[in-house]
Structure formats: structure tokens, C-alpha cells
Amino acid sequence: MIGNKEITQFQLLFVLIHCQIGVGIITLPNEIFLKAKGDSWMSVLLAGIIIQITIFIFGALMKRFPSSNLYGIIQFLFGKGFGKMIVILYSIYFMILGGFFLAKFAVILRAWMMPTTPKWLLVGLIVMIAVYIVKENLQIMARFLFISSITLIGFIGFSIYSLKEANFTYILPIGNTGVVPIMKGIPTTLFSYQGFEFLLLIYPFVQSDQKGLVKVATITNIIVTLFYTFIVMISLLFFSPNELKIVPEPMLYLVKAFTFKIIERPDLLFTSMWIVLVATTIIIVLYASSLGLSFVMNSNKRSIYVFIVAGISFFLAMSVYGVYEIDSVSRIFNPFIILFAIGFPILLLLIAIIFNKKEVENSG
């Protein structure tokens, strides 16, 4: 029988997919196009490869510390005081991330569906949903994340429909922008890929050995990379380069252009489905953050911290106004994502290797 707090490998797959696919999905093609032009899809693929390397680094880290998570490793390597400070930093990082996603969500939703609905309500609803489930254990979250994956099928369905209007000459000639823009596009993409570090937080709760974990993470990465490449590709093929520059949410705009027999404005449905994806991302971010806080406080009751974390994220989201402000925040915040998601785990691994630290095997 499955233990009370454990999830299966299969569930992990969906948890990780939802970690990575979130708010950014509808803006990614535009953001990356501004950097890498017609070769954006290559940036996405390259970013996927970088993530894959990071996953192997995670794998090495997980092998050394099979039963504690990222927070445990930090405390183990840095000692109690300093370690806890870093864990708090991680918590804050996730909180800011949550606030940022919420702000972005509110801006996009108000631009596309609900222009006059107050922001606090839209943000508050998502936070309420997140709190309602994050209080519970990982197993329940995994169940919900699995069910909400149905929306991804809808996403792909709508996107495939747009291939009808694809114009392949828009991305030709391949590679004409040169290497530099493609490289410049990678950090932007990593922002959308953000979330795979969640693996480091939950791996002790998965019924699997380290090899299985890496395998699942790799499968997830392949799925997500292909998914993102597909979406970027479709936007590139549908919009002419000059149009893609001025369309901030290409995925929604693309769907808006279609008509079906019964549904004349599929973008409304599409946006509704996207709300689910936003909620799942917020759920994961809040979980990660509350896990950190309860770890620092040595508390078993995570639910109190969920409320605290959700409240802070809510106020962070409320304090960011406007499209341009979000852009500048994301510009400032981008390096931190790379630091926390990739840089820090690498540092941990280096420290562990250099000082040859390993988790003490304790039987029982």
C-alpha cells in the first residue's frame, strides 16, 4: 500500500510537468522572439538541454542524500544557523515567484477577459484555491495536478488546429540571426522552464530510487521541451515576424483568430483553461515556500505557514502594477531564478564532492 505521504513515479511526472508549464506558456513565444527572432525554437531546445544537464546534477545530489530534500541538504552542508538562513532565502524566492506569477496572471486575465474586475479578486481567488489544496499533503496535490493535466490536451488540440494556417517560410532561413541571439534567448526560456527545482524538494516523498527519479525527470523534460518548442514553433509559423513582435500573448491571439461552428471565440475557453495551469503553478510555488518555512521552524504543521506564504504572495502581487512594471521586475528577477534553480544546487553538489559529505545511513 502507498504510504500516507508518498506519490508514485507516474504522479511525479505530472507534478513536474505542472511545475514547469505555467503562467509563461502564453507569453513565451513573444518574449523569446524579441531576443532570438526566427530561431527562437532553437533557444527553447537548447534551454531544454541545459535543464537536462541540471537534472543529471540533481541526480548526483539525490544519490548522495537519498532521504533528505533540498532544505535538508542545505542545513546538512552549511550547519544549522547559516543553513536555515539560506532556506529562508529559498522560501522568499518562492514567495516572490508566486507573487510575480499572480501579478502576471492578473494583468493578462484583465487584458483578455475581465478588464474591469478588480485585481484583488482575481488574485485572491487563485490564492484561495491554492491555499485550499496546499494545506493538504503532497498526495492530494498530485491527484489534482494529474486531473488538471486534461487542460494540456486542450492546449495542444487548439494549437494543432492552427497548423492549418502555418507558413513555413517565416522561420526560414534557419539560423540566419546567428548564434548570439539564440544564446540570448536561453535565459528568457529558462524563466518559463522554472519549476524543475521542485524535484529536489519532493524526491524523498516519491516511491522510487534515484535512477527512477532521474528517469522521470528526463521524461518530463523531454515532454516539456517538446511542448514549449511546439508552442513557440506554432507561433512563429502563424504570425509574421513583424506581427509577433507586437503581440504580447501570442498563444491567446492565435486562438482568438479561429472560429468553430459552435464556439466563435475559442480564446475565452483557452484562457479559462490557462487559469487552471496558473493555479497549478501557484499551488506548487506556495507548497515549496511553505515547506521551507515549516522546515526552518522545525514544525510539522505546515498549514499555518501556507496561510502566511499565501498572504505574502498576495500582497506582493498587489504591489506590482501595470505591464511595464512586470517587465522590469522580471528583468531584475531573471538572474535570481538561474541562481536558485540551477546555480545553487550545483554549488551544493560541489561542496558535497569537495568535502566528501554524504548522508549518514541511518537504519530505521
For residue 20, the minimal CB distance to other proteins (Å) is 20
Q: Is 7 strand, coil or helix? A: strand
Which positions ≥6 away from 238 have C-beta within 8 Å?
162, 165, 166, 167, 250, 254
Q: Is 194 strand, coil or helix? A: coil
Counting Cα atoms < 13 Å in the Cβ hemisphere of 81 gives: 0
Q: Where are the alpha helices (DSSP H) in the chain?
A: 9-20, 28-36, 40-64, 70-78, 80-112, 119-134, 138-148, 150-162, 179-193, 198-202, 210-238, 241-246, 250-256, 266-296, 302-319, 323-338, 344-354
Q: Does 303 bind other proteins (CB under 8 A)?
A: no
Kindly state the cell numbers that stand for 261. Answer: 461552428
CA R_g for the chain: 20
- Out of 226, 268, 304, 351, point to the residue binding other proteins (CB under 8 A): 268
Q: Does 269 bind other proteins (CB under 8 A)?
A: yes
The amino acid present at 248, given as its one-letter code, is P
Ramachandran region, residue 341 (left: φ > 0; alpha: ψ -120 to 50; beta: rest): alpha
Q: Does 160 bind other proteins (CB under 8 A)?
A: no
Q: Does 275 bind other proteins (CB under 8 A)?
A: yes
Within residues 245-264, the interface with other proteins by CB under 8 A covers: 246, 256-257, 259, 261-264
What is the signed CA dihedral for 72, 77, 80, 81, rounded to 10 degrees?
A: -120
Q: Does 101 bind other proteins (CB under 8 A)?
A: no
For residue 54, the minimal CB distance to other proteins (Å) is 28
Q: Does 133 bind other proteins (CB under 8 A)?
A: yes
CA dist 93 and 99 (Å) reads 10
Closest CA to 204 of 62, 86, 98: 62
Q: Residue 26 or 109: which CB sits closer to other proteins?
A: 109
- Out of 60, 136, 154, 161, point to the residue binding other proteins (CB under 8 A): 136
For residue 349, the minimal CB distance to other proteins (Å) is 32
The amino acid present at 104, given as its one-letter code, is K
For residue 136, the minimal CB distance to other proteins (Å) is 6
Q: Does 140 bind other proteins (CB under 8 A)?
A: yes
CA dist 82 and 78 (Å) reads 6
Q: Does 318 bind other proteins (CB under 8 A)?
A: no
Here's the x/- map for other proteins, 39-68, by CB under 8 A: it reads as: ------------------------------
Q: Does 238 bind other proteins (CB under 8 A)?
A: yes
Q: Residue 5 or 358: which CB sits closer to other proteins?
A: 5
Q: Residue 124 or 343: which CB sits closer to other proteins?
A: 124
Q: Does 178 bind other proteins (CB under 8 A)?
A: no
Here's the x/- map for other proteins, 180-209, by CB under 8 A: it reads as: ------------------------------
For residue 301, the 8-state DSSP code is: -
Q: Does 239 bind other proteins (CB under 8 A)?
A: yes
Q: Does 147 bind other proteins (CB under 8 A)?
A: yes
For residue 264, the minimal CB distance to other proteins (Å) is 5
CA dist 200 and 55 (Å) reads 10
For residue 267, the minimal CB distance to other proteins (Å) is 9
Count of CB atoms within 10 A of residue 137's CB?
15
Here's the x/- map for other proteins, 102-121, by CB under 8 A: it reads as: -------x-xxxxxxxx--x
Contacting positions for other proteins (CB under 8 A): 1-2, 8, 10-11, 109, 111-118, 121-122, 125-126, 128-129, 132-133, 136, 139-140, 142-144, 146-148, 165, 167, 169-170, 172-173, 176, 238-243, 246, 256-257, 259, 261-265, 268-269, 271-273, 275-276, 279
